[in-house]
Structure 1
Amino acid sequence: MTTPSKQSAPRWVDFHCHVDLYKEHAALIAECDRERVATLAVTTTPKAWPRNRELASKSAHVRIALGLHPQLVAERENELPIFERYLPDARYVGEIGLDAGPRFYRSFPAQERVFERVLRACAEQGGKILTVHSVRAVSKVLNHIEGALPPDRGRVVLHWFTGTPAEARRAVALGCYFSINGEMLRSPKHRQLVGDLPLERLLTETDGPFVQSEGHPLRPRDVVTTVAELAAARNLSPTAMGDTILQNLKQLVSA
């Protein structure tokens, strides 16, 4: 996500953060640069992408992803042509995916139409890195990825993954990475799941401002806590885990 010198190299990775949903949008971008947090700023609608891109145009560490959030597909499916118009200029894509939760299940057929079209467009252009939402729909998400996005045409990072161990193994076989946040490590079940994922496929995220700590939205710099918690879950030192996450990011973006 960056072209680092020793002084400017990222120290941390937040691979999924809704930077434009913070009140101090521009200030947060500057903070990411000061703290050297390689941050993927996801968008929820294509119309948000140009302004986000403009604000981050001079950032050393913030990159903008072009998104069409599955929870907004019911009212935003008509923005898909806008998404496709911007896609050639977007290396990163997200937030996209599927959500079969009770509030959004009625739009699930539309979500699948959008997701399939997005994956095929990304495959056609090649070289995209996608951050993907899969709430209660991991198997369906993996079906679409397997059918529409060959591993040599794009890379997938599963955001806040809560699938089964079998689904995790399938995702690994498809070449997926996983971005881990602190909330995932609160549940013993999900902590065990994260503990079994391949170390070389792990990234960190905040999903701020939706994830909070002590009543305050997490910021990209707070990912340092997740690194420490993830290190404990994997019986590594925080330094070793931080170095691994940075190496994984480098591997992801250089492929």
Structure 2
Amino acid sequence: MIIDTHCHYDMMKSPEDYIDEVEKAGNIVIGMTNLPSHFDMGFKYVRKYKNVRLALGFHPQLASDYKNELSLFAKHIERTSYIGEIGLDFSSSYISTKDLQISCLKYILEKLQGKNKIISVHSRCAEKELFTLLRNYNMKNVIFHWYSGPLSLIPQIIGEGFYFSINEAMTLSSSGKKIISRIPVDRILTESDAPFNRKDDIVSAIRTLGLEEKQIERNFRLLIQQIRQ
């Protein structure tokens, strides 16, 4: 079984064909959404599937143009067990909206408090700030998607019980390899980040990691058990 914990299949050319293939293969994919309105549009198509899931998201890169959708996020929060993509992005293209991003994320985390969800987070150039907020709001079951932050923060993220989703591109870069080497095997999940990631072959990533698909499946099953407690 292949498990893809971070995929944007709603952005693919033929989303329905893709999720049909995933379902027939018996694989699991969690579709990220960039806005609550995207989740609202896609949920009715996905709910009939067993292995295909859809997450409720609010991408930090869109905060300045779509902050009015925060109320829609709160409205849909009980419709899914999956949240993503949410987080912070302080890279050069988005640092100008830093304060607004933080404000939006605080609103989202406040709404998530006390709710058992699996949460996939975007943390580009904002890993420390994001980790602090996640801890302050007592978030659980968090997956750091395509982590590229400081190595020194990894033990703290692990200590909080969080996970990392690894893609093929990470296994092929020197910086990605250094990050992966610091992560215990029981905290590794897999992702494609398709269609935005050209190196999205999960099977190749698992082989490069020297792991078995069953290890990733065990990790994911444990995460699922945690939200059902």
Establish whether TM, by shorter chain, passes 0.5.
yes
Matched, 1:194 2:177: no
Taking the aligned partners of 1:178 and 1:97, their CA distance within structure 2 comes to: 14
Of 189, 204, 213 in structure 2, the residue corresponding to residue 203 of structure 1 is 189
Of 173, 176, 179 in structure 1, the residue corresponding to residue 165 of structure 2 is 179
Matched residue, 1:28: 18
Of 223, 229, 250 in structure 1, the residue corresponding to residue 208 of structure 2 is 229
Matched residue, 1:7: none
Matched, 1:114 2:85: no
Deviations 1:104-135 (A, max 9, x none): 111111111111111121113x1111000000
Taking the aligned partners of 1:230 and 1:60, their CA distance within structure 2 comes to: 28
Taking the aligned partners of 2:176 and 2:198, their CA distance within structure 1 comes to: 18
1:187 Cα deviation from its structure 2 partner: 1.8
Matched residue, 2:124: 135
Give % identity: 29
Matched, 1:156 2:142: yes
Structure 1 counterpart of 2:158, one-letter code: V
Partner SS, residue 58 of structure 1: coil
Matched residue, 1:4: none
Matched residue, 2:75: 85
Taking the aligned partners of 2:76 and 2:18, their CA distance within structure 1 comes to: 24
Partner SS, residue 212 of structure 1: coil
Taking the aligned partners of 1:229 and 1:119, their CA distance within structure 2 comes to: 35
Matched, 1:246 2:217: yes
Taking the aligned partners of 2:10 and 2:213, their CA distance within structure 1 comes to: 26
Taking the aligned partners of 1:204 and 1:101, their CA distance within structure 2 comes to: 24
1:186 Cα deviation from its structure 2 partner: 2.0
1:35 Cα deviation from its structure 2 partner: 2.0
Structure 2 counterpart of 1:128, one-letter code: K
Taking the aligned partners of 1:141 and 1:21, their CA distance within structure 2 comes to: 26
Residues matched between the structures, number: 226
Structure 1 counterpart of 2:209, one-letter code: L
Taking the aligned partners of 1:104 and 1:76, their CA distance within structure 2 comes to: 14
Taking the aligned partners of 1:179 and 1:95, their CA distance within structure 2 comes to: 13
Structure 1 residues 12-91: aligned runs within 5 Å? 12-91=2-81
1:48 Cα deviation from its structure 2 partner: 0.7
Taking the aligned partners of 1:180 and 1:191, their CA distance within structure 2 comes to: 10
Taking the aligned partners of 2:56 and 2:187, their CA distance within structure 1 comes to: 22
Structure 1 counterpart of 2:215, one-letter code: T
Output the TM-score relative to the length of structure 2.
0.95
Partner SS, residue 68 of structure 1: coil
- Structure 1's unaligned 5+ residue stretches are 1-10
Maintained 8 Å contact 1:122/1:149: no
Matched residue, 1:94: 84
1:17 Cα deviation from its structure 2 partner: 0.2
1:162 Cα deviation from its structure 2 partner: 1.1
Cα RMSD (Å): 1.2
Taking the aligned partners of 1:53 and 1:226, their CA distance within structure 2 comes to: 29
Deviations 1:230-252 (A, max 9, x none): 22xxxx4xxxx211100000000
Q: Which moved more, 1:81-90 or 1:184-193?
A: 184-193
Higher strand share: 1
Maintained 8 Å contact 1:120/1:149: no
1:193 Cα deviation from its structure 2 partner: 1.6
1:59 Cα deviation from its structure 2 partner: 1.1
Taking the aligned partners of 1:142 and 1:223, their CA distance within structure 2 comes to: 26
1:189 Cα deviation from its structure 2 partner: 2.5
Taking the aligned partners of 1:142 and 1:100, their CA distance within structure 2 comes to: 14
